[in-house]
Structure 1
Amino acid sequence: MGALLVSQSEPVASTDALRIPAEAMQHYLPGGHPALPLPHVTPDVVLHLFTHCSITEPILVPAVAEPLLVMVLAGSAIVEERAAGGEWAQTEVRVGDFFLTSTMQPYEMRWQTRDGDSFEVMHLYLAPTLIDHAARDLGLQQAGPVSFVDLSGGHDDWVRMLLEQLRAELTGSRTPSQLLVHSLAQALAIHLVRTYRAPLPAGRRSNALQAYKLRRVIDLMNQHLAQDFSLAKLAQAAQLSEYHFSRLFKRATGLSPSHYFIRLRIARARQLLLETERSVIDIGLEVGYSSPSHFSQVFRREVGVTPSAYRDPGRD
């Protein structure tokens, strides 16, 4: 079940406009009433709680970079989903059922509540870095952008338990423990990668960069985010020619080395924007962008909003 929902009555300029960061979700939920006044945002997760009434007119669900989990907390509903122009698929959901969404394409949804006029759900986004660390810990060659199967109305005791523990920690009366939140989120990421990772295309399973070389190269990238990208240095670390390194790296991760490097830079920038009060200019410099306008342009292309709007979703 998607989050970040946009009414079809609103003008949409392009698909790029439908890539919205998780933190901005509450601004795009027509007809829903947040159960919490503000989103719970940590470096590892974004959590929102919502109470929904029936939605009979289709709504457009934008794509986001983070994997999304939605679990039903109370009530039940008939949920319908479809790709643009496709056939509707119907799922009946009740307490404990969950949706897993990992897509870069927008899609449509509508739902009808059962046995009452509303139902409660929690939306949880996991930071891409958690998924990346989980894949690397499990020794997977696909240490880059892991994708998941889309699941509607699933039931998994581990997922339910971990989501409930995260909700309790983030919404309880005590100050949340960042260490506990991180541990629960990491455990959830590992379970999702083990259980629901989408299979790789056949062409990316063979002749990919070996896992130990991939880890070495990614560590080197992270250590030099403020410096210019150097394909030669990375290829040397992998003990390969630049041509063969680029080809094998893309087979392992799905991205070129330069694009992967940009993703790492932006992931670090997102973390700094949420965790610190440093200026956008300083953060851009730390991740290698001396020009604020260039940093903003790249950030918007990768995330969907400017760095300032990402830090404060009410802007722009």
Structure 2
Amino acid sequence: MRKLSRNCGGMVNCSFLHALKPMASASNPAAAEELSRILNTAPPLDPQAYRGDVRLTTRFSHGAVCGQVLPMNEHVVMTYYGASQLYTWRDGRRHSNGVKRPGMLTLIPRGHEAHWEVAGNVEVSHVYLSDAQLQSCAATLGSDLPDLQFEDRISFDDPVASRLIQVLAQEAENPLEHSRLFADQAIELLCLHLVRSHVAAGMRAVRDMLPGLQPWQLRRLRDYVHERLDQDLQLDELAAVVGLSRFHFCVAFKRAAGQSPYAWIVHLRMEKARELLAVRRLSICQVALEVGYQTPSAFASAFRRTQGMTPSAFRAVVRPA
């Protein structure tokens, strides 16, 4: 593979690399801070931090890279878009050359240091996962599981994680109604997938461990949600209703109901909306507010997507209740 050192622009001497050892401390920089330095551009962060201090970026571009990435306080997961680019990576023990292609994934564990060279412009989006968030996800899968220990993985294929990161970047760029609930679930799925697929030895036990919700738990949830369809419901409060951690709740709910909590709540909102539209006492704007949508356009979009017609068209054809 051809040398990429001409892209360094004097940043570092790319022909000389020290042995770099994984390390982690409270003094390590935040991922966004360190990547701003090495990329020479600030990753465009979603202004809100999610549970466990998880941070998202929108899709963005940066130029060629040649330098030493210092240990960071978060795990960094990124996916690629746009043109393919050559890369070289070394951490003193290992060396990798290859091509970054659209849809590929890179995982940089918390506290790891390495030297990077990337040719040309790169289009990416990032997720910064706190170690506490990932350890919390793992803890819900079994008390005897060891602490997570990720390995650096560079430009590899993982369609599931890549698609989840793309979805999160879209939510960060253009948040829609109930975006927080949707993003929280996507983050939980990403954490579960990473725990199952990309940690060092010791996590093979993650399979068929969590039971689904019991019928009484589903009934309690339905009653709780029905009374609050006009509110922006959060995963934490739904999990608390049935006495589970948020991570356990997401897995157990999907196993019992065959769909995500987000999709289930949308179904309940549309069920109530059809009932209110048939009664005809409320305007469409009022119906939207009653089922948790702050604007008629957001309600109309969700209704058309799930029911195959607009609220106005439904009201025109349905027999008055």
Task: Give the TM-score of the pair, scaled to structure 1.
Answer: 0.50
Distance apart, 1:177 and its partner CA:
2.4
Paired residues of 2:34 and 2:70 also in contact (CA < 8 A): no
Matched AA of 1:105: H
Q: Report the equivalent of 1:105.
A: 112
Work out which of the residue numbers 65, 74, 94 in structure 1 matches 2:82: 74
Work out which of the residue numbers 124, 144, 150 in structure 1 matches 2:127: 124
Work out which of the residue numbers 13, 31, 39 in structure 2 matches 1:22: 31
Q: Report the equivalent of 2:304.
A: none
Task: Quickly say closer, same or farther: Cα 1:142–1:8, change in 2 above 3 A.
Answer: farther
Work out which of the residue numbers 64, 67, 91 in structure 2 matches 1:59: 67
User: How big is each residue's C-alpha offset from its partner over 1:220-239, in whole Å with a ceiling of 9 and x where there is no partner?
Assistant: xxxxxxxxxxxxxxxxxxxx
Distance apart, 1:102 and its partner CA:
1.1
Paired residues of 1:131 and 1:193 also in contact (CA < 8 A): yes
Task: Quickly say closer, same or farther: Cα 1:30–1:96, change in 2 above 3 A.
Answer: closer
Runs (4+) of structure 1 moved beyond 3 Å? Answer: 15-18, 29-34, 38-41, 173-176
Task: Quickly say closer, same or farther: Cα 1:126–1:33, change in 2 above 3 A.
Answer: closer
Distance apart, 1:103 and its partner CA:
4.5
Question: Equivalents in 2 of 1:134, 1:195: separation in Å?
Answer: 13
Matched AA of 2:181: L
Aligned residues: 183
Gaps spanning 5+ residues in structure 1: where?
Answer: 1-6, 10-14, 206-316
Distance apart, 1:99 and its partner CA:
0.5
Paired residues of 1:39 and 1:47 also in contact (CA < 8 A): yes
Distance apart, 1:179 and its partner CA:
2.0
SS at match of 1:194: helix
Counterparts of 1:137-148 in structure 2, within 5 Å, are 137-139=140-142, 141-142=144-145, 145-148=147-150
Task: Quickly say closer, same or farther: Cα 1:199–1:76, change in 2 above 3 A.
Answer: same
User: How big is each residue's C-alpha offset from its partner over 1:207-246, in whole Å with a ceiling of 9 and x where there is no partner?
Assistant: xxxxxxxxxxxxxxxxxxxxxxxxxxxxxxxxxxxxxxxx
Query: Which structure's CA Rg is the greater one?
Result: 2
Question: Equivalents in 1 of 2:26, 2:70: separation in Å?
Answer: 8
Question: Equivalents in 1 of 2:116, 2:27: separation in Å?
Answer: 15
Work out which of the residue numbers 144, 156, 159 in structure 1 matches 2:158: 156
Paired residues of 2:103 and 2:162 also in contact (CA < 8 A): yes
Matched AA of 1:124: V
Per chain length, whose mean CA-contact separation is higher, i.e. which structure has more relative contact order (CA < 8 Å, sep 6+)?
Answer: 1
Question: Equivalents in 1 of 2:160, 2:107: separation in Å?
Answer: 14
Q: Report the equivalent of 1:272.
A: none
Distance apart, 1:97 and its partner CA:
0.3
Aligned-residue CA RMSD (Å):
3.2
Task: Quickly say closer, same or farther: Cα 1:197–1:26, change in 2 above 3 A.
Answer: closer
Q: Report the equivalent of 1:83.
A: 91
Matched AA of 1:94: R
Paired residues of 1:130 and 1:185 also in contact (CA < 8 A): no
Q: Identity of counterpart residues, as a percentage?
A: 20
User: How big is each residue's C-alpha offset from its partner over 1:62-83, in whole Å with a ceiling of 9 and x where there is no partner?
Assistant: 1123221011022111111111
SS at match of 2:128: strand
Q: Report the equivalent of 2:168.
A: 166
Gaps spanning 5+ residues in structure 2: where?
Answer: 1-10, 14-22, 206-321
Matched AA of 2:85: A
Question: Equivalents in 2 of 1:103, 1:78: separation in Å?
Answer: 24
Question: Equivalents in 1 of 2:139, 2:26: separation in Å?
Answer: 32
Question: Equivalents in 1 of 2:159, 2:102: separation in Å?
Answer: 12
Matched AA of 1:89: S
Distance apart, 1:185 and its partner CA:
0.6
Distance apart, 1:135 and its partner CA:
0.7
Paired residues of 2:79 and 2:124 also in contact (CA < 8 A): yes
SS at match of 1:133: helix
Matched AA of 2:38: L
Distance apart, 1:50 and its partner CA:
3.3
Q: Report the equivalent of 2:280.
A: none
Question: Equivalents in 2 of 1:128, 1:188: separation in Å?
Answer: 14
Paired residues of 2:79 and 2:166 also in contact (CA < 8 A): no
Q: Report the equivalent of 2:136.
A: 133
Q: Report the equivalent of 1:223.
A: none
